[in-house]
């Protein structure tokens, strides 16, 4: 089992409409009890992330005070540019003793390559898994090229390619 959940794109539309409500639901069902680290370049701190999460679950998930309170206890935030190695150094610190994190890339596909590269060079990918939202490339050739990039850092059994709309 994963011992931390990192989601890139924490300030984005997908996080607002889908991820925060799903996280609250997972906490409510007793399925999430590990650190949850949001990563984005928004100039935010943890308090802004919590406010965004509360607005999200209020609008899209049905605010559950008890479950949301437990989610807040799990939430951390790393602010920074995905091109900046220092962002990933801060993420490595935030992961603490985590040995099997899962990295959810709820970001534009154009950023997959740099984030995967930075996860690898920072040590954040060691023992980790990665979840990639589709689209995975623009066509067969770009999907194959991206697969090569992904496999430089993650073995295939640790790569999950998903369409979040299938989960609706």
**Residues 111-142: tens digit of each pLDDT:** 999 999 999 999 999 999 999 987 788 889 98
Name the percent of the chain in helix, strand, coil, to the closest 5.
50, 15, 30
Tokens of residue 94, six digits:
């935030």
Regions of the chain with pLDDT less than 70: 164-168
Predicted local distance difference test score (pLDDT) of residue 101: 98
Instruction: With beta carbons less than 8 A apart as the criterion, state whether 37 and 95 touch.
Output: yes
Alpha helices in the chain (DSSP H): 13-14, 20-28, 46-56, 65-74, 85-95, 112-122, 140-153
Q: What is the pLDDT of residues 36-48, one digit of tens each?
A: 999 999 999 999 9
Predicted local distance difference test score (pLDDT) of residue 165: 57
Predicted local distance difference test score (pLDDT) of residue 164: 61
Half-sphere exposure of 12 (CA within 13 A, CB side): 17
Q: How far apart are the first and last CA of the chain?
A: 23
Predicted local distance difference test score (pLDDT) of residue 168: 47
């Amino acid at each position: 089992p994963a011992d931390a959940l990192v989601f890139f794109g924490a300030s984005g539309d997908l996080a607002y409409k889908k991820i925060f409500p799903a996280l609250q639901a997972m906490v409510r069902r007793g399925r999430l009890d590990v650190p949850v680290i949001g990563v984005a370049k928004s100039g935010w701190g943890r308090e802004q992330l919590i406010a965004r999460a509360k607005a999200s679950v209020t609008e899209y998930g049905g605010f559950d005070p008890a479950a949301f309170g437990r989610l807040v206890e799990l939430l951390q935030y790393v602010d920074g540019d995905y091109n900046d190695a220092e962002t990933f150094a801060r993420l490595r610190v935030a992961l603490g003793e985590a040995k099997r994190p899962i990295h959810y890339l709820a970001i534009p596909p154009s950023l997959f390559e740099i984030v995967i590269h930075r996860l690898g060079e920072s040590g954040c990918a060691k023992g980790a898994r990665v979840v990639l939202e589709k689209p995975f490339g623009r066509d067969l050739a770009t999907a194959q090229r991206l697969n090569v990039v992904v496999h430089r850092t993650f073995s295939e059994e640790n790569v999950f390619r998903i369409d979040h709309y299938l989960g609706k």
